[in-house]
Structure 1
Amino acid sequence: MSTPPANPANPNEPENGKPGPDAPQPGQQPPAAPQYGQNAPQYGQQQYGQNAPQFGQQPYGQAPQQYGQSPYAQYPSEQPQGAAAGGVPKMVNNAFWMIVAAGVLYVISMLIAIPALNDPAMRSQFEDQMRASGADVDFESIKPVIIGMMVVIGLIGAGLYALVAFNVRKGKNWARILGTVLAALSIFSLFPLSIGTISALLGIAAIVMLYLPASAPYFQKQQPFGGPYSQPGNPYGR
């Protein structure tokens, strides 16, 4: 007869009347087996009920760094220079309103000059100049032409003031250069003293303000065609 195979020894069962090393001691419950449906600890969870830091969390209590922020300090030209609403520096905004005021005074000076054509002294001076040049021109016949030229010059001047003012507020450097040229030409209109003198002084003062340290960096912004490494906020490509 064949001998039936012996069952493997259970370490918890007593062997020769002695309990095994893993057998529960008197008064202790045997360890319960995991029930069906319970999962093993997930990946990233530590023992003893502690969870590992989730993805994206910084260790040691540090705040997570947002995507796109440079770890380096901003350059002085990128830091706000007392910016007003819309990110425009206050000095640039003040210069904008000064240029607008200068343009308004310029238009007023041209409107005042049109009725002055009826001054007898101006009429006499004009006729004397015409006779000295040998031209037989009557003042009344040429007066509409003079008024039309003054209106056209006034409209062109007002348009130039508006062009410089609104583009300077947007940070366009070419507008600042154009304003510099116009301010240099307006020096010849300082005399005789009139409303035009105040307009010229306001324009010159506004252009000077645009070159001060508080407003000059606003016109040195990187251009979009300068390449991806020259965009603001990138520490490289400077």
Structure 2
Amino acid sequence: MTIPDDESTPRPAGSGEPTTPPPAAEPTPAAGPTPPAAPTPPAAPTPPAESQGFPAAPPPPPAAYPASYGNAAGGPVAAPTAPPRTVNIAFWLYVAGAVLSVISGIITVATIGGQRDQFLRSVQDSNQTNGQNAQTVVDAVIAGATVWAIVTLIFWAVTFVLFAFFMRRGANWARIILTVLTALSLFNVLAGYGVGFIQFVATVVALVLMWLRPSNEYFSAVKATKVPRT
């Protein structure tokens, strides 16, 4: 009697009965696209300085200030590059006054020498020689007048040119000295047969030009910079 085979009974290979294949593995689903990363939230703003008990910092200054604002704020004042026209004209008038002073001195010396005989006759007629030789007295007077004329010539020529030079550079003290010299030059009005009068007129015009508004602004600007200009 044949015992039917059950599933637990082994069967030899090639027995002719079909073998059931093992079930196939289920396919793995393909990976989908990677989802985008979540956006990073913005950083919290820093609280202002006032909230921490400190005052806010002042805004930065601008890169540059206008020249006028810099002067008003106490910044350096730009030095004038050249004297104004009024100062230049006054300078040349004082130079002309110095030249006229030389001419007036030469005329005075020549006049004194040419009037020796007239002086001699005047002394002899007045009998005021006190026993001295009249010619000696006249020669002494002429020599003294000549020396005085030469000293005056050199004084006015040198002082006018020297102080006019400093005045042109912006020195206010030179302007003041020239004002005094101009007043003193009134004593030379009658010298040199009218040349002294022309000298006085030239220096008076120069004096007025030195004290006009453009000249005052120039001297003030030079004084603010502490640098005399050439």
Distance 1:141 1:211 in 2: 44
- Aligned positions of 1:164-203 closer than 5 A: 164-191=163-190, 194-203=194-203
Partner of 1:139: 138
Deviation at 1:213, TM superposition (A): 0.7
Give the aligned partner of residue 118 of structure 2.
124
Cα distance in 2 for partners of 1:132, 1:164 equals: 47
Moved more, 133-142 or 153-162: 133-142
Aligned residues of 1:127 and 1:139 also touching (Cα < 8 A): no
Post-superposition offset of 1:179? 0.8
Q: 2:206 corresponds to which residue?
A: 206
**TM-score normalised over the length of structure 1:** 0.57
How has the CA–CA distance of structure 1 residues 231 and 166 changed in structure 2, closer, same or farther, with 3 Å as cutoff?
A: closer
Q: Distance in 2 between matches of 1:161 and 1:71?
A: 37
1:89 aligned residue (80, 84, 90):
84
Q: Which has the higher helix share?
A: 2
- 1:62-73 → structure 2 map (5 Å cutoff): 65=64, 70=67, 72=69
Gaps of 5+ in 1: 1-14, 24-57, 59-63, 224-229, 233-238
Change (3 A) 1:206 1:222: closer
SS at match of 1:155: helix
Which is worse superposed, 188-197 or 153-162? 188-197
Runs of 4+ residues deviating >4 angstroms: 129-135
Q: Cα deviations across residues 95-126 of structure 1 (Å, max 9, x unaligned)? A: 10010001101111101111112334x64247
State the 1:141 CA deviation: 4.7
How far is 1:143 from its partner?
Answer: 3.1
Q: What is aligned with 1:160? A: 159
Partner amino acid for 1:128? S
Which amino acid in structure 2 is aligned with residue 101 of structure 1?
A: A
Give the direction of change, closer, same or farther, for the CA distance of 1:132–1:174 in structure 2 (3 Å limit): farther
Q: Normalising to structure 2: TM-score of the pair?
A: 0.58
| Residue 114 of structure 1: aligned partner | 109
Are the equivalent residues in 1 in contact too, given 2:98–2:156 (CA < 8 A)? yes
Say whether the 8 Å CA contact 1:168–1:175 is kept in structure 2.
yes
2:96 aligned with 1:101: yes
Return 176-185 or 124-133, whichever deviates more: 124-133
Contact 2:113 2:142 in 1 (8 A): no
Tell me if the contact between 2:102 and 2:153 (Cα under 8 Å) persists in the aligned partners: yes
Structure 2 counterpart of 1:110, one-letter code: G
Task: Report SS of the residue matched to 1:215.
Answer: helix
User: For residue 89 of structure 1, what is the amino acid of its counterpart?
Assistant: P
Check if 1:21 corresponds to 2:35.
Answer: yes
Letter in 1 for 2:34: G
Count the aligned residue pairs: 165
- Say if 1:213 and 1:197 are closer, same or farther in 2 by CA, change over 3 A: same
Specify whether residues 117 and 221 from structure 1 end up closer, same or farther in structure 2 by C-alpha distance, changes over 3 A only: same
Indicate the structure whose relative CO is greater, using CA pairs within 8 Å and at least 6 residues apart: 2
